[in-house]
Structure 1
Amino acid sequence: MQTLSPSPNPVSYRPLFALPVIVSALGFFVDVYDMLIFSIVRVPSLQSLGMTEAEVSQAGTFILNFQQAGLVLGGFLWGILGDKRGRMSVLFGSILTYSLTNIACGFVQDVNTYAFLRFLAGVGLSGEIGAAMVLVAETLPKALRSYGSSVVAGIGYLGAGVAYLTVEYFNWRMAFWVGGGLGLALLLLRVSVFESGLFSRMKVEHREVSRGNLLHFVSSWPQALKYLRFVTLGMPTWFVVGILATFANEFGQALGIADIIKPGRCVMLIYVGLAGGDLLSGPLSQWLRSRIKAITGLLLCSGFLSGIYLFGGINTAEGLYTICLLIGFCTGYIAMYLTMVAESYGTNLRNTATTSVPSVVRGTLIPMTLFFQALKPSVGALVTAGLLGVIVYGLCFWSLSQTEETFGNDLDFVE
């Protein structure tokens, strides 16, 4: 591990600290909008293509898994690019990719084209949050790092709410076009953002250091286990979003709720909750002086509320929507989680780790949905989701118990 030389006159850069936070937050806002838009329009868009209720469930899973596969692949591609060419190269390239692809999604007429375009969108979407969190972590002073990450995630998750409202007032095709247009507009703001100073100095002072080397993460068992622990730490988010919210209409039927449950509304409420939780997680982490303690407290509440969602006897639509909001709030630890990832790796590997880890986490939704669809016919939706939740939260808490605290870590080093 080698340390980078300190940046000259850091005080003179303080007026610029807010700019990367604001632009990163807006970028994540558009990213969340475009990533969640399919979950929100899944039912109406597939019904408009002439599908029955049973076909909607199967085709929706098929398309969602294609999107998640794109997220996994893109996470590695953008992660490596960000460590080799810079954080800003990712923030420009990723938003251009997913914006154009989402515009194209508004013109689909068949499932296979829909799935292919969601795959391409997934590739583009995977670069945004990791590069944004790394840029903010490397730009802000240590004392402000938690707050900056919380603002990025807190504002960003509100993109789901705007996506839902867009669908409420316009049709699903227009919702895709709006998301793509927002992304293209944001490109203009990114012109004013500077590259990370730590990355720029690393290129000069440590030219011989390997950057964005994927083999590092599997170079030894401890390194592989460290990476896998970070992956399992993020899985509860996609259990909540990808299972509890996306298939909420099926859970509503299993619970005997008379009203039709709108999965899109559940997704929106969970993400509004995530925004609130992430805005809290930064100050909470500072107060506790611990990333792990803040994350553990939120996840305990998230697991408990997920159990209430499935087995608490909820019998009204409003009751289910309310519990979605609460679950989202208690699962709002992603800002601190990604900050932990960034704080755990050197500047030459930081973007690869922080971008690929959440993308692999999103990819774990593929086995989750396959598990859900395979076991559901024999034991029912509620029991299947309950068993899956035990596995997901169990792995997460085990990983937390094995992960080193990163609060206050310096980031000026390479590996």
Structure 2
Amino acid sequence: MSSAKSYLTADERKIFYSSAGGWGLDAMDICIFSLVIPSLLAAFAIGRGNVGILATAALISSAFGGWLGGIISDRVGRLVVLRWTIAWFSIATIICGLVHGYTTFLIFRILQGFGFGGEWAVGAVLMGEIIRSELRGKVVGAVQSAYAIGWAVALLLFSSVFSLFSGPDAWRYLFVIAGLLGFPLFVMRMRMKLPADYLARMDIARRAHQQASVSTSLWDIFRGPYFSRTAIASLMCLGIQGGGYSLTVWLPTFLQQTRHLSVLHTTGYLSVYVAGSFCGYLGAAYLSDLIGRRIKIMLFAAGALVIVVSYLSLPITNGMMMLLGFPLGFFMLGIYSGLGPLLTELYPTRLRGAGQGFCYNFGRGIGAVLPAVVGFLSLTLGLAHSIVAFSGACYVLVCLCAFLLPETTALKLETREQEDQLFLDGRRRTAGEHMPPRETADTSRISSPKI
């Protein structure tokens, strides 16, 4: 991560740390929820299916929150949305640690989802727009590695809190601490300023669209050249996130209830998994720029498929399972690096928040159903076989979709503005409208960000 941020200016480093902090908190929340599932089963006297509903409900609400956040960010600005998503997330997370009763907890998990849904979608758009094309994969991928740090912090808090507080309410402290950690990020974002070069480029794109005299609709992501991109990218995001959630949500429960490991032993196994994910995020970030977004995604999807089947289906010892945790985290979570830049490079400025937000959060929303399905299906098939069935199908889907998408590595975002202008001109001609002469925005004199 340090080598990537060394290219950035002071203002860009603040955005880098701010996005990394938000994504780390997102990962921390997912990890904390997964770790306390056994405690929630006892605290609320519920079954696995009900816990699956908790996970699914939060992820579905985060999908809506992410898409809505992307749409709003196209209109009011990326940074404005990022300030309020972190505040919303923090307050809802603290309340989750204080409520009593399954239904109340479910309501606030849903509300919490709206907050952290916008973190990835809007943060990835902002980082993708600021970083120049030849470094976009490395830098955005380095921010993605904050997910591994979030998992590591969650594991540290989990082992510490459950060692200090052995009572049935120990899990509540974790949610309260996670929520409190969001407020320093809110303060940072309130003081943050966007780079001047970035603001200049966004102003050029905005003026070019105004000159086109065509109204923007969020439904444009389903029209013209954007329809096939949106459809394929959404299915790819479904495969990536569905495959990940099927395992991630249930892995701590699998280790404790199927492999009969204690809380401390579970933390050790998950630490190897998190270390692998950190290396995967950084390795995939560099591969994304080196060999291309699509090939990197297909490579990591195939690796994740092989490791998930080996990890859960083969008759291996606990020691071998711990060793396999490293490549499991490397491939299954490293696949996310390069996803943000790829989605950013599919759309013009006026549609980028809506398009990227929809694709990622379509995957998050539909993929979020899988933990609940796995929970109910595990009652008949067993937990391991249920996870393998859904994760395997998801990673096959990822390979197919990545193959069908265009390669966008090192694409200059100005190319999408030119393409969009042709699309808007064609729409005007189809509607039979008069096209007044206009000046073409000269982007050649706007320098790339000094990173």
Task: Give the TM bin, normalised by the shorter chain.
Answer: 0.7 to 0.9
State yes or no: 1:176 paired with 2:175. yes
CA distance in 2, matches of 1:75, 1:97: 13
2:222 aligns with 218
Q: Once the 2 structures are TM-superposed, how far is the Cα of residue 188 of structure 1 from its aligned partner? A: 1.7
State yes or no: 1:121 paired with 2:123. no
Distance 1:264 1:71, change over 3 A: farther
1:13-412 counterparts in 2 under 5 A?
14=9, 16-49=11-44, 51=45, 55-170=46-161, 171-190=170-189, 191-194=191-194, 196-197=198-199, 198-207=201-210, 208=213, 210-211=215-216, 213-219=217-223, 223-248=226-251, 251-252=254-255, 257-260=259-262, 270-288=273-291, 290-316=292-318, 318-331=319-332, 332-412=334-414
- The TM-score, its normalising length taken from structure 2, stands at 0.80
CA distance in 1, matches of 2:227, 2:350: 17
Q: Once the 2 structures are TM-superposed, how far is the Cα of residue 396 of structure 1 from its aligned partner? A: 1.0
Match of 1:109, SS state, is coil
Distance 1:366 1:187, change over 3 A: closer
Match of 2:36, SS state, is helix
Residue identity matched to 1:226? R
CA distance in 2, matches of 1:253, 1:183: 30
Q: Once the 2 structures are TM-superposed, how far is the Cα of residue 260 of structure 1 from its aligned partner? A: 5.0
> Is the 2:90–2:183 Cα contact (8 Å) retained in structure 1?
yes
1:339-370 residue CA offsets vs partner (Å, 9 max, x unmatched): 10000100111112222322222222343234
Distance 1:272 1:99, change over 3 A: farther
Q: Once the 2 structures are TM-superposed, how far is the Cα of residue 254 of structure 1 from its aligned partner? A: 8.8
CA distance in 2, matches of 1:100, 1:254: 32
> Is the 1:102–1:176 Cα contact (8 Å) retained in structure 2?
yes
Distance 1:346 1:319, change over 3 A: same
CA distance in 2, matches of 1:118, 1:302: 29
Task: Kindly tell me the number of residue pairs found equivalent between the two proteins.
Answer: 394
> Is the 1:79–1:355 Cα contact (8 Å) retained in structure 2?
yes
Once the two structures are overlaid, the 10-residue window that deviates more, 59-68 or 39-48, is 39-48
> Is the 1:309–1:323 Cα contact (8 Å) retained in structure 2?
yes
> Is the 2:148–2:275 Cα contact (8 Å) retained in structure 1?
yes
Q: Once the 2 structures are TM-superposed, how far is the Cα of residue 189 of structure 1 from its aligned partner? A: 1.4
1:8 aligns with none
> Is the 1:216–1:223 Cα contact (8 Å) retained in structure 2?
yes
Residue identity matched to 1:274? S
> Is the 2:66–2:120 Cα contact (8 Å) retained in structure 1?
no
Residue identity matched to 2:174? A
Q: Once the 2 structures are TM-superposed, how far is the Cα of residue 329 of structure 1 from its aligned partner? A: 0.8
Distance 1:406 1:56, change over 3 A: same
Q: Once the 2 structures are TM-superposed, how far is the Cα of residue 252 of structure 1 from its aligned partner? A: 4.8
Q: Once the 2 structures are TM-superposed, how far is the Cα of residue 380 of structure 1 from its aligned partner? A: 3.2
1:384-409 residue CA offsets vs partner (Å, 9 max, x unmatched): 33322332122111101111100011
1:6 aligns with none
2:3 aligns with none
Match of 2:194, SS state, is coil
CA distance in 1, matches of 2:41, 2:379: 22
1:152-183 residue CA offsets vs partner (Å, 9 max, x unmatched): 10124311111121122123212111111111
> Is the 2:148–2:278 Cα contact (8 Å) retained in structure 1?
yes
- The TM-score, its normalising length taken from structure 1, stands at 0.86
Match of 1:334, SS state, is coil
> Is the 1:140–1:148 Cα contact (8 Å) retained in structure 2?
yes
Match of 1:279, SS state, is helix
Once the two structures are overlaid, the 10-residue window that deviates more, 234-243 or 337-346, is 234-243
1:219-276 residue CA offsets vs partner (Å, 9 max, x unmatched): 36x6444223222323454345422232236645896x35357777766654443322
Among all aligned residue pairs of Structure 1 and Structure 2, give the percentage whose two residues are the same amino acid. Answer: 22
CA distance in 2, matches of 1:263, 1:119: 27
Distance 1:370 1:45, change over 3 A: closer
CA distance in 1, matches of 2:65, 2:386: 30
Distance 1:210 1:324, change over 3 A: farther
Match of 1:364, SS state, is helix
Q: Once the 2 structures are TM-superposed, how far is the Cα of residue 319 of structure 1 from its aligned partner? A: 3.5
What residue ranges of structure 2 are gaps of 5+ in the alignment? Answer: 1-7, 162-169, 421-451
Q: Once the 2 structures are TM-superposed, how far is the Cα of residue 295 of structure 1 from its aligned partner? A: 1.8
Q: Once the 2 structures are TM-superposed, how far is the Cα of residue 15 of structure 1 from its aligned partner? A: 5.1
> Is the 2:35–2:252 Cα contact (8 Å) retained in structure 1?
no
CA distance in 2, matches of 1:366, 1:156: 18
CA distance in 1, matches of 2:322, 2:187: 37
Once the two structures are overlaid, the 10-residue window that deviates more, 224-233 or 104-113, is 224-233
CA distance in 2, matches of 1:294, 1:346: 23
> Is the 2:254–2:384 Cα contact (8 Å) retained in structure 1?
yes
Match of 2:295, SS state, is helix
2:430 aligns with none
1:7 aligns with none
What residue ranges of structure 1 are gaps of 5+ in the alignment? Answer: 1-12
CA distance in 2, matches of 1:103, 1:38: 13
> Is the 2:49–2:376 Cα contact (8 Å) retained in structure 1?
no
Residue identity matched to 2:219? L
Match of 1:310, SS state, is helix
> Is the 2:273–2:328 Cα contact (8 Å) retained in structure 1?
yes
Once the two structures are overlaid, the 10-residue window that deviates more, 322-331 or 79-88, is 322-331
CA distance in 1, matches of 2:38, 2:145: 27
Two-structure CA RMSD over aligned residues (Å): 2.6
Distance 1:252 1:194, change over 3 A: closer
